[in-house]
A and B are shown apart, each in its own frame.
Chain A
Amino acid sequence: MPFIRTVPPGEAEGELARHYRAALERAGRVWNVVALMSPSPRALAASMGLYRTLMHGASPLSRGRREMIAVVVSATNHCVY
């Protein structure tokens, strides 16, 4: 369970409901990281917008390369520096 209360898709209203619907249409599911930002629909929209721009937008880096960077970062964040 997350440390904060998150809004389940079935309970979302208004702006949050719109964002959940868009997430469902794009990905077929509401990822846990999306639900985690349900306390702030504006932050959710901005964060996911940045994600889409960086990961799905045009770039000289292929999607595969960008995903590789993401995997390196996430794996490395297990490190204690």
Chain B
Amino acid sequence: MRRVAADWRTAPLSPADRALAAYADKLTCAPGAIAAGDVEDLRRHGFADRAIHDAAQVAAYFNYINRVADGLGIDAEPGVEAWERPGGRGR
């Protein structure tokens, strides 16, 4: 998970996990650019409607909570990794 946090593009992910990561990354940086082809890519890796829905919701939730945390100046939790916190990150 540390490798994913550093750079998911070079982390040793399965093709299916890589497809999920790419989708989450695009939804985060360029949500307006998401198109049918991006979802088709998830289907090609074996994800059906419910899984795709859940992936979108989880990615969107963390975008939401990141902004709440950053907007209000959250303190980092001492001694805890980013992925162990519900907010995802902190200073």
Evaluate contact between A33 and B74: CB separation under 8 angstroms: yes
Evaluate contact between B74 and A2: CB separation under 8 angstroms: yes
- A-B interface contact total, Cβ < 8 Å: 138
What does DSSP make chain A's interface, helix, strand, loop or mixed?
helix
- Give bound CA distance, A48 to B65, whole Å: 10
Q: How far is the CB of A34 from chain B (nearest CB, A)?
A: 8
Evaluate contact between A54 and B58: CB separation under 8 angstroms: yes
The chain B residues found within 8 Å of chain A, CB to CB, are 1, 4-8, 13, 17, 20-21, 24-25, 27-30, 47-48, 50-51, 54-55, 57-59, 61-63, 65-66, 68-77, 82-83, 85-90
Which A-B residue pairs are the 8 nearest by beta carbons? A33-B87, A74-B88, A3-B73, A73-B62, A60-B51, A74-B89, A2-B73, A76-B28
Ordered by A's residue number, 7 sampled pairs between the chains whose C-beta atoms are within 8 Å are A32-B76, A47-B65, A61-B51, A69-B24, A69-B62, A73-B25, A73-B63
The chain A residues found within 8 Å of chain B, CB to CB, are 1-4, 27, 31-34, 36-37, 47-48, 50-51, 54-55, 59-61, 65-77, 79, 81
